[in-house]
Amino acid sequence: MHLHHAIFFKSPTTPSAPPPQNGPSPYPITIQNPTSRQFIHSIFPISRKTQNHYYCYSILNCRGGIEEIPVSKRSLNTLSFCNNNDNNASDVDDGRLRNVGVIKEIDVATLGNLCVDIVLNVPQLPPKPVDQRKAYLDDLSKSPPDKRYWEAGGNCNMAIAAARLGLRCATIGHVGDEIYGQFLLDVLHDEGINIVEMNEENSSSGAAYETLLCWVLVDPMQRHGFCSRADFTKEPAFSWMRDLSNKVKMAIKHSKILFCNGYGFDELTPGLLVSALDYAVEVGTSVFFDPGPRGKTLLSGSPDEQRALDKFLRMSDVLLLTSEEAESLTGIRNPVLAGQELLQKGIRTNWVIVKMGSKGSLLISMSSISCSPAFKVNVIDTVGCGDSFVAAIAFGFMHKMPLVHTLTIANAVGAATAMGCGAGRNVATLEQVIELVRKSDLNEDDRFWMELLNEDFDIEQVTMLSKLVMNGSNGRLNRLSLQKVVSEMLSKLECARLERVVPL
């Protein structure tokens, strides 16, 4: 049995950004259930000449799923807003409501790349030749590894890091009906993350339907090697999956952000990934794309892979890359210039974010460059740092934080994860991030940044986080005080801790 809630407000609501003078606002109005902090609803306004009405038509059921019910004149399963006593929504056609008024209950959904990492210490990393690597993997797989070496991997890392920041998360992907699949489901459930199964035929069996395992091999020098069955076949691991199910479309439609990365191509066909991208664009879901190391191989891959990569680079709202990956995709060594190249070629691209490890990160938009040095930490393990970084970028994006603040919190979450061992359940907790931010120990390298920014970028403003100076500007370079940024970040993080659903 499903429990449905209907809420109607007659009083005005406060939008998250000032309304425009003419036409409907592009910003959602966000309201919160007064009896629960768990669900926040975003309503997009429909403007009229004489009055503004705000409508939406989606609900949550008590089992944690999403149901969509057409709005009718007397529907009780709706949530509507207006500025006066007129609560008659019947003169707005249902089709308009379906396209505009969907409640996006999910903050972030990840697409594909769900796997179980088997983390093992080995005397040496696997050999590079494919046949030798295959023999190495076959030898490892002869007997099931002890469960203490298992960990949730792939996009689970990003989802767990985002959930620990207080975001409502879902993972869209396939897990098998065996012990590894059950392990993943249990981990995600414990972290408060929903999973949307892409395979509607739950009775399917065989090796092609099994949960993907990724062997994470660590040598005595703490270098990592990765191995999975997807490395030894030309077809994606789940190439039998051809179409987006209605459940998957519903999850994308009700998500504010859809995160995809290059490793998704190891599991899903280029056509299926592009279908998800196209549908996200159609229903107004922002797309984050991190090509990762696979970007370089996709660039020289099959025609379908090349077309899919090109489309993700052009149609994503936010691109995230390392400086090496940005160079490999553009041929431009300077990460700022490479980011600007990707931005100019993009159709929907608003941000290009370049990760530079211990140096920090950059965010390039059409009108500005934002720079944030990294935090100094004792690095134990870098696995999962990039995924944690992306989760924090989503946090800043969702909360409309200033760009330097968004980079700084992402650097902090990535650095806090690096202080632990492994990813999955070992990614940074909110408490670890807050503690790191409070220490405010930046790895500042002014010479590096000045050399990096000593180019003609045709940008009006460059903003940099700095602990050495108070707020001020020198030409186009505007320095932001670390103390001021940290104070504002801590306020936001403390709010996230108070509102978080997942236990400490």
**What pLDDT, on the 0 to 100 scale, is given for residue 472?**
54
Asked whether the predicted pLDDT for residue 11 surpasses 50, the reply is no
Of 102, 63, 261, the C-alpha closest to 172 is: 261
Asked whether the predicted pLDDT for residue 34 surpasses 70, the reply is no
pLDDT tens digit sequence for 220-239: 887 888 888 878 888 898 99
- Whether residue 314 contacts residue 349, with contact meaning beta carbons closer than 8 Å, is answered with yes
Domain membership of residue 347 (yes or no) is no
**End position of a domain, from candidates 81, 103, 125:** 103
**Domain count of the fold of the chain:** 3
For residues 145 and 265, state if they share a domain. Answer: yes
pLDDT bucket at 80, cuts 50 / 70 / 90: very low
Averaged pLDDT score across all residues of the chain: 79
Domain membership of residue 331 (yes or no) is no
Domain membership of residue 321 (yes or no) is no
**End position of a domain, from candidates 88, 103, 118:** 103
- Whether residue 443 contacts residue 435, with contact meaning beta carbons closer than 8 Å, is answered with no
For residues 140 and 113, state if they share a domain. Answer: yes
pLDDT bucket at 470, cuts 50 / 70 / 90: low
CA atoms in the 13 A half-sphere facing the CB of 142: 4
**What pLDDT, on the 0 to 100 scale, is given for residue 36?**
37
Domain membership of residue 136 (yes or no) is yes
Asked whether the predicted pLDDT for residue 89 surpasses 50, the reply is no
Q: Which of 100-109, 322-331, 337-346 has the lowest mean pLDDT?
A: 100-109
For residues 382 and 409, state if they share a domain. Answer: yes
Q: How far apart are CA 389 and CA 44, in angstroms?
A: 29
**What pLDDT, on the 0 to 100 scale, is given for residue 349?**
96
For residues 287 and 406, state if they share a domain. Answer: no
pLDDT bucket at 122, cuts 50 / 70 / 90: confident
Give every CB contact of residue 258 below 8 A, 6+ residues apart in sequence.
109, 110, 111, 252, 276, 280, 285, 286, 287, 288
For residues 418 and 480, state if they share a domain. Answer: yes
Q: How far apart are CA 19 and CA 211, in angstroms?
A: 47
For residues 108 and 94, state if they share a domain. Answer: no
**What pLDDT, on the 0 to 100 scale, is given for residue 271?**
97
Asked whether the predicted pLDDT for residue 336 surpasses 90, the reply is yes
The mean pLDDT value for 135-164 works out to 89
The mean pLDDT value for 113-126 works out to 88
Of 190, 168, 157, 115, the C-alpha closest to 418 is: 157
**End position of a domain, from candidates 48, 70, 103:** 103
Give every CB contact of residue 472 below 8 A, 6+ residues apart in sequence.
478, 479
pLDDT tens digit sequence for 263-308: 999 999 999 999 999 999 999 999 999 999 999 999 999 999 999 9
Q: Which of 82-91, 100-109, 436-445 has the lowest mean pLDDT?
A: 82-91
Of 313, 357, 316, the C-alpha closest to 338 is: 313
The two beta strands, 368-373 and 40-43, are: unpaired
Alpha helices in 191-334 (DSSP H): 246-253, 270-282, 294-299, 303-315, 323-330
The mean pLDDT value for 17-39 works out to 38
The two beta strands, 360-364 and 351-355, are: antiparallel
For residues 30 and 120, state if they share a domain. Answer: no
Domain membership of residue 382 (yes or no) is yes
pLDDT tens digit sequence for 354-397: 999 999 999 999 999 999 999 999 988 888 899 999 999 999 99
- Supply the range of the domain harboring residue 414: 352-496
pLDDT tens digit sequence for 437-453: 999 899 988 899 988 98
**How much of the chain exceeds pLDDT 70, in percent?**
76
For residues 66 and 177, state if they share a domain. Answer: no
Residue entry with tokens 């794309």: 289
Q: Which of 220-234, 320-334, 341-355, 441-455 has the lowest mean pLDDT?
A: 220-234
**What pLDDT, on the 0 to 100 scale, is given for residue 201?**
64
- Whether residue 402 contacts residue 385, with contact meaning beta carbons closer than 8 Å, is answered with no
Residue entry with tokens 């091999």: 217
For residues 90 and 195, state if they share a domain. Answer: no
The mean pLDDT value for 307-336 works out to 96
Of 390, 444, 379, the C-alpha closest to 417 is: 379
For residues 288 and 171, state if they share a domain. Answer: yes
Q: Which of 44-48, 244-248, 386-390, 498-502 has the lowest mean pLDDT?
A: 44-48
Tokens read off for 297: 């191989």
Q: How far apart are CA 246 and CA 252, in angstroms?
A: 10
**What pLDDT, on the 0 to 100 scale, is given for residue 146?**
86
Domain membership of residue 327 (yes or no) is no
**What pLDDT, on the 0 to 100 scale, is given for residue 132?**
87
- Whether residue 196 contacts residue 174, with contact meaning beta carbons closer than 8 Å, is answered with no
